[in-house]
Structure 1
Amino acid sequence: MTSLPEGLPTAIGEEDRDAAVRRLQEAYADGHISHEEMDGHLGQVLAAKQRSELDSALSSLPAEKPGTTTMIGAASGRIKRRGAWQVPRTLKVASAYGRARLDLSRAVIEHAVVDIELALGTGRAKIIVPRDAIVVLDDLQTGWKDYRYRPPRRSSGSRGPEIRISGTMGFGRLTVRHARR
């Protein structure tokens, strides 16, 4: 096996680009950069082909907060979070045979955007989001049954956190609903 010489440019993948875009969106949502700065950086990120170009586009952003990703996993059984629990920026939920129930209605959410990445084999999942949350399910892949989500009929006027749900569901069903109170 031959190793690559040091100092060669490192190509980036779609995951790297997506993570950079999320960092830009979070910096903008948190007020660290202006709309114009975000547009400029976004153009750099989307045009980047090498790691150095991506790093250059993100160099003026504040450092990522440590511990913003949490993993919850179980081979079987139930994964359950409810009440006043601290929601990380990225929550990864993995289970081969169990159920998952995440109630964010009374949770402490400090981030403008929360990513929930599911990796569930069999068993169903239920996620309850705050009344004013924006739910995005674009990157969710379901194997057996489609997810159930009905956006609220009318807006309350206030804008809550954006909850982006992605990942894979095998033979279970995901149900997402807004809190009633």
Structure 2
Amino acid sequence: MKARAGGPDHRPPLISEHDRDAAVHRLQEAYAEGRLSHEELDESLHQVLTAKTHSDLASFPEENESTIAAVSGRIRRRGVWRVPRILKVESALGRVHLDLSRAVIEHPVVDIEVHLGTGNARITVPRDAIVDVEDLRTGWKDPLYKTRRRSRPGGPMIRISGTMGLGRLKIRHARR
């Protein structure tokens, strides 16, 4: 008697070397883009390399993304708070103040995407952070930011992108 698909004798198909290589490649890309920590990469690679079926293949962690939005008023984050890999800040009318100086930053690269209509924004970054504002489009005034002359290696890369209408973005490094 033949076993039917889905019956007790049905076994899921084994993964091919091509499937395994593709999963490893996806993990390496996620690590290079800063979406995985070194520890997450090691753990996920172990899962992929020991996987026997497709269900065993490690799917790398979801994109760590969060949005802070307000129609009007003030958006403020300061003190000790966990910074997601991608932070979207949206406000039609109001001020924004993000203080990352004491925040928990677990990713080597943090993308902050701002979409502000009217109002100023201020971002305080850690002392050893590297800041990139190349992809920020402003409608009124250019951002105020002075690159630090001396910073210790190993700090996070903070990439700020998006659009600002009437207002100015001020970025400064924390003193401590």
Q: TM-score, normalised by structure 2?
A: 0.69
Runs of 5+ in structure 1 lacking a partner?
A: 1-20, 34-59
Would you say 1:106 and 2:77 are equivalent positions? no
Which residue of the partner structure matches residue 133 of structure 1?
Answer: 129
Partners of 1:62 and 1:27 lie apart in 2 by 13
Q: Please, what is the CA RMSD of the aligned residues?
A: 2.3
Largest Rg, 1 or 2: 2
More strand by share: 2
Partners of 1:113 and 1:61 lie apart in 2 by 22
AA partner of residue 112 (structure 1): P
AA partner of residue 63 (structure 1): F
Deviates more, 1:119-128 or 1:22-31: 22-31
AA partner of residue 147 (structure 2): P
Partners of 1:160 and 1:170 lie apart in 2 by 30
Q: Deviations over 1:38-65 (max 9, x none)?
A: xxxxxxxxxxxxxxxxxxxxxx985133
AA partner of residue 139 (structure 1): D
- 28, 33, 46: which one pairs with 1:25? 33
Would you say 1:63 and 2:60 are equivalent positions? yes
| Offset, 1:103 | 0.1
| Offset, 1:28 | 7.6
Matches within 5 A, 1:13-52: 24-26=32-34, 30=38, 32=41
AA partner of residue 60 (structure 2): A
Q: TM-score, normalised by structure 1?
A: 0.67
Identity %: 58
Which residue of the partner structure matches residue 180 of structure 1?
Answer: 175
AA partner of residue 175 (structure 1): K
Is the 1:30–1:112 contact (alpha carbons within 8 Å) kept by the matching residues of 2?
no
Runs of 5+ in structure 2 lacking a partner?
A: 1-28, 43-56
